[in-house]
Every structure is written in structure tokens, then in C-alpha cells.
């Protein structure tokens, strides 16, 4: 009898795991084109993954030397008014590349390209995709990039209600569980933000980072179009949105070296968002 019960429990655990994997592998989706059933399914997934993230929190090793950034200051940032920024100052001639919807199976490849070109960037990660990719997040910090929250499930955070607060809290917890600290940067999914979310973020000490250049790489228009769009619209202080997750990111990956080279030929210095906006703490 007991053996049957154990077998049943094991079966349930496996089924739960499969469900989690299946939903985790979905396209992140965009806040504006989702149906309510999908939203409810996402909420259930977020509930399960949230519990999992909270369990893994106890496994943080704050003194792990691997967590100390060798360069850059990716998580040691302090929010500053205004609470929402789309761009940085026009001088000096700098530009910030940002990547949304990861961590994904593509993120490591993005990190390799950035490493090869010594180009710092900023990653806005989805909390529900962190489990199992904690080392990727540590790599982001270790290699001098900046890391921010993109919410838990990619649903709109504009309502600033209890669900929003949960999405923000769980994602911060998952980031902290992975890299030891959590930082101040956040990017609202779909750029969806209003007065209510701004007020909530101000209270939480988080800084909403939007963008001014969007080549819509997630639509997969082809690498040359992605490159052309970024280079044609580049200006000093610009924040560029690209994606390292949410589907097949081969085109973005292929476009990245040409984007970096093109910007440098135009005398831009690539910097992280905290560097561009002067959000880095100096007291650490
Ligand atoms: Zn997104």
C-alpha cells in the first residue's frame, strides 16, 4: 500500500515537472496580445515557480567570490528621479544596448559575443525563467554587464495591484537568490507603465528603464534589417531594446557583432544603463 502511495507521489512530481518545463519554454509573449486563459495559466505557473524561487533562496552564498563583479557595477545601483527614463544625456557620446525576455537558451551565446567584443550591456530578466539558469545570471554580473527585472511572467505591471507587487517581489527574490543582490533596474513588459506603476516603483526604490530605439527584433525581420534600424536611429544617450529570449533569437544574435562594430565606427562608447544614467553607487 505504502509502495503504491510513493509511486503515485513520484508520478505526480514528474507530471508537475513536465508542466513547469512546458510552460517555461513558451515564448514570453508580449503584454498586449495575450488571451485571458493564457494569463490564468501563466499566473498558475508563476505561483508554482514563485514557491520554488523562495525555496532556493536559502541556498545563496553571499560570500562566494564568483559573485564579486570583476568590472562594472551591474547591481550596485540606486534609483534616482525621475523614476522612468527612456534615454541618457547627449554627452558624452555613449549608447546602451539592452536585452529583454531572458534568461533563455540563447543568453550564453549573447554573453560570448559581448565578451569577444568587450561590450557591456544590460539584461532585463523574467523571474519565471531564472530557475536552472542562476549561473547565467552570475555570468552577466561577473562579465561587467548590468542586470534588471522584467517582472515574473511578462504580464503587464501597469495595474500596480497585488499581482504586480508579487511579480516584482518574486523576480527580485529570484535575482537575489542567484547573484546575492538585486539592484534597482526594472523594465515594464511591453513598455506598459502609468502613474500607478510609477508610484509603486518609487516606493520600492526601483527605476523604470524604457528605450528610444526599438528594431522590433522579436518579429524576426532579418539580421540586416535589425542592424540597419539600430544604426540608422542611433544617437548619443540612446537606450536600445533587443531580445535574448522569448523565442528564436538567431537573427538578433547574428546582428549583434555588426551592431557593435557599426556603433564603434560611429564613435559611440557602449555602456550599461546604470553607467549611462549615473545610477551607480559610489559608496560600496
Ligand atoms: Zn519583454
Q: pLDDT tens digits, residue range 215-228?
A: 999 999 999 999 99
Please pick, among 42, 100, 217, 244, the residue that the annotation labels catalytic.
100
Q: Say whether 100 is catalytic.
A: yes
Distance 7 CA to ligand 1 centre (A): 40
Give tens-digit pLDDT for 34-49.
Answer: 455 555 555 555 555 5
Q: Tell me how far the alpha carbon of residue 78 is from its chain's centroid.
A: 17
pLDDT band, very low/low/confident/very high, at 75 (cuts 50, 70, 90): confident
Distance 218 CA to ligand 1 centre (A): 9
Specify the higher pLDDT residue, 282 or 166.
166
C-alpha distances out from residue 216 to 64, 75, 219, 220, Å = 38, 27, 6, 8
Distance 119 CA to ligand 1 centre (A): 22
> Among 247, 236, 246, 228, which residue's Cα sits nearest to residue 212?
236
Predicted local confidence at residue 281, as pLDDT: 73
Q: Say whether 243 is catalytic.
A: yes
**Backbone torsion region of residue 160, taken as left when φ is above 0, otherwise alpha when ψ lies between -120 and 50, otherwise beta:** left
pLDDT band, very low/low/confident/very high, at 232 (cuts 50, 70, 90): very high
Mean pLDDT of the chain: 83
Predicted local confidence at residue 42, as pLDDT: 54
pTM equals 0.76
Predicted local confidence at residue 40, as pLDDT: 56
C-alpha distances out from residue 23 to 20, 105, 128, 201, 284, Å = 5, 15, 10, 28, 39
> Among 26, 54, 56, which residue's Cα sits nearest to residue 41?
26
The C-alpha cell at 233 is: 536611429
The pLDDT of residue 54 is above 60 = no
- pLDDT, average across residues 226-242: 98
Tell me which DSSP letter residue 268 carries: P
DSSP bridge pairs for 240? 97, 213
82 within 8 A of 233, measured Cβ to Cβ: no
> Among 245, 244, 228, 242, which residue's Cα sits nearest to residue 270?
242
Give tens-digit pLDDT for 156-197.
Answer: 999 999 999 999 999 999 999 999 988 899 999 999 999 999
- pLDDT, average across residues 250-266: 98
Distance 1 CA to ligand 1 centre (A): 49
Distance 57 CA to ligand 1 centre (A): 25
Distance 216 CA to ligand 1 centre (A): 11
Please pick, among 145, 150, 154, 243, the residue that the annotation labels catalytic.
243
CATH architecture of the domain 77-277 equals Alpha-Beta Barrel (3.20)
What is the number of residues in the chain?
284
**Look-up: residue for cell 508610484?**
199
Predicted local confidence at residue 3, as pLDDT: 57
253 within 8 A of 220, measured Cβ to Cβ: no
Predicted local confidence at residue 123, as pLDDT: 98
pLDDT band, very low/low/confident/very high, at 70 (cuts 50, 70, 90): very low
- pLDDT, average across residues 202-210: 96
Distance 242 CA to ligand 1 centre (A): 9
The C-alpha cell at 177 is: 537568490
158 within 8 A of 192, measured Cβ to Cβ: yes
The pLDDT of residue 235 is above 50 = yes
The pLDDT of residue 94 is above 80 = yes
Distance 120 CA to ligand 1 centre (A): 20
Percentage, residues of the chain above pLDDT 90: 69
Distance 65 CA to ligand 1 centre (A): 31
Predicted local confidence at residue 212, as pLDDT: 98
Q: Where are the domains of the chain?
A: 77-277
Amino acid at each position: 500500500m505504502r509502495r503504491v502511495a510513493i509511486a503515485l507521489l513520484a508520478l505526480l512530481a514528474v507530471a508537475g515537472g513536465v508542466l513547469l518545463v512546458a510552460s517555461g519554454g513558451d515564448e514570453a509573449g508580449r503584454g498586449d496580445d495575450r488571451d485571458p486563459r493564457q494569463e490564468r495559466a501563466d499566473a498558475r505557473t508563476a505561483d508554482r515557480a514563485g514557491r520554488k524561487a523562495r525555496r532556493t533562496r536559502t541556498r545563496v552564498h553571499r560570500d562566494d567570490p564568483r559573485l564579486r563583479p570583476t568590472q562594472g557595477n551591474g547591481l550596485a545601483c540606486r534609483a534616482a528621479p525621475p523614476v522612468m527614463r527612456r534615454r541618457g544625456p547627449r554627452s558624452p557620446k555613449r549608447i546602451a544596448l539592452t536585452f529583454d525576455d531572458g534568461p533563455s537558451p540563447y543568453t550564453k551565446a549573447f554573453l560570448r559575443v559581448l565578451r569577444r567584443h568587450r561590450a557591456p550591456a544590460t539584461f532585463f530578466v523574467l523571474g519565471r525563467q531564472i530557475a536552472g539558469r542562476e549561473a547565467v545570471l552570475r555570468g552577466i554580473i561577473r562579465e561587467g554587464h548590468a542586470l534588471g527585472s522584467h517582472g515574473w511572467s511578462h504580464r503587464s505591471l501597469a495595474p500596480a495591484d497585488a499581482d504586480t507587487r508579487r511579480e516584482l517581489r518574486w523576480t527580485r527574490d529570484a535575482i537575489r537568490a542567484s547573484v546575492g543582490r538585486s539592484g534597482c533596474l526594472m523594465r515594464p513588459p511591453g513598455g506598459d507603465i502609468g502613474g500607478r506603476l510609477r508610484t509603486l516603483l518609487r516606493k520600492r526604490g526601483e527605476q523604470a528603464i524604457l528605450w528610444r530605439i526599438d528594431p522590433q527584433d522579436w518579429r524576426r525581420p532579418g539580421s540586416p534589417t535589425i542592424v540597419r534600424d539600430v544604426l540608422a536611429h542611433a544617437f548619443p544617450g540612446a537606450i536600445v531594446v533587443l531580445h535574448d529570449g522569448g523565442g528564436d533569437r538567431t537573427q538578433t544574435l547574428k546582428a549583434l557583432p555588426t551592431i557593435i562594430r557599426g556603433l564603434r565606427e560611429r564613435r559611440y562608447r557602449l555602456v550599461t544603463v546604470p553607467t549611462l544614467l549615473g545610477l551607480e553607487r559610489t559608496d560600496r
